[in-house]
Amino acid sequence: MDDRKNLVVLVDEHDREIGTEDKLRAHQNGGMLHRAISIFVFNARGETMLQQRAMSKYHTPGRWTNTCCSHPYPNESVIDAAHRRLREEMGFDCEMNEAFAFTYLADVGNGLTESEFDHVIFGAYDKDPEPNPEEAMSYRWIGLEGLKKEIEQNPDAFTPWLRIVLDKVIDYRKNGRA
């Protein structure tokens, strides 16, 4: 097993590396700021692919979220991490570019907190994925405005970070800025 799977890269508020920490410990006691990626893959109709997190995930199981979210390994670029995790979670790869980055803090239940310097990455793909059942139990395509309405109607069906980032993604897609 790759020991890097259990590590996250700790960063300061400018995304400068300051160390590494065990992934679970970095999410306990209010969370430690660490580098993360959030991938949004869009099809030709402008819909984004959501995944429903597997029930075996250690936090937010069964909730809908963006196409893929994860953490880069130490010494791995965010784009390389995005390609690696998209293949591992959703069974495909595509061209991707970083759109923007931001920090957030979110309670994800069970005494765990996400404190992330999150790099938001956009990709394009028009085929069906092949989700890894250990990561995602389902997927679907949805327009961003429709997703916003669903979140307003049933917020607990979605991950906290998706609820936080969605308006930034919508603004970026419309105006080229988050």
Q: Is residue 69 annotated as part of the catalytic site, yes or no?
A: yes
Integer CA distances (angstroms), 19 to 12, 94, 124, in order: 10, 30, 33
Q: What is the mean pLDDT of residues 44-63?
A: 95
- Residue 139's pLDDT is 98
Query: Is residue 46 over pLDDT 90?
Result: yes
Confidence grade of residue 1 (pLDDT, cut at 50, 70, 90):
very low
CA torsion angle 143 45 80 52 (round to 10) = 40
Q: What is the mean pLDDT of the chain?
A: 95
Listed residue (63, 143, 178) closest to 110, CA to CA: 63
pLDDT tens column, 66-78: 999 999 999 999 9
Question: Can you tell me the distance from the alpha carbon of 36 to that of 11, in angstroms, rounded to the nearest whole number?
Answer: 10
Question: Can you tell me the distance from the alpha carbon of 133 to that of 110, in angstroms, rounded to the nearest whole number?
Answer: 23
- Residue 176's pLDDT is 76
Single pTM value for the model: 0.94
Query: Is residue 52 over pLDDT 50?
Result: yes
Q: What is the mean pLDDT of residues 10-24?
A: 96
Question: Can you tell me the distance from the alpha carbon of 165 to that of 150, in angstroms, rounded to the nearest whole number?
Answer: 15
- Residue 164's pLDDT is 95
Residue 156 burial by CB count (10 A; 0-12/13-18/19+): exposed, middle or buried? exposed
Q: What is the mean pLDDT of residues 128-134?
A: 97
The percentage of residues in the chain with a pLDDT greater than 90, rounded to a whole number, is 89
- Residue 2's pLDDT is 59
49: enclosing H helix or E strand: strand 48-53
- Residue 6's pLDDT is 87
Write down the catalytic residue from 89, 114, 116, 135: 116
DSSP string, 68-128: EEE-PPTT--HHHHHHHHHHHHHS----EEEEEEEEEEEEEETTEEEEEEEEEEEEE--S-
Q: Is residue 116 annotated as part of the catalytic site, yes or no?
A: yes
Listed residue (156, 151, 161) closest to 118, CA to CA: 161
CATH number of 3-175: 3.90.79.10
Residue spans of the domains in the chain: they are: 3-175
Listed residue (127, 176, 141, 163) closest to 46, CA to CA: 141
Query: Is residue 87 over pLDDT 90?
Result: yes
Write down the catalytic residue from 68, 69, 114, 135: 69
Confidence grade of residue 177 (pLDDT, cut at 50, 70, 90):
confident
Query: Is residue 35 over pLDDT 50?
Result: yes
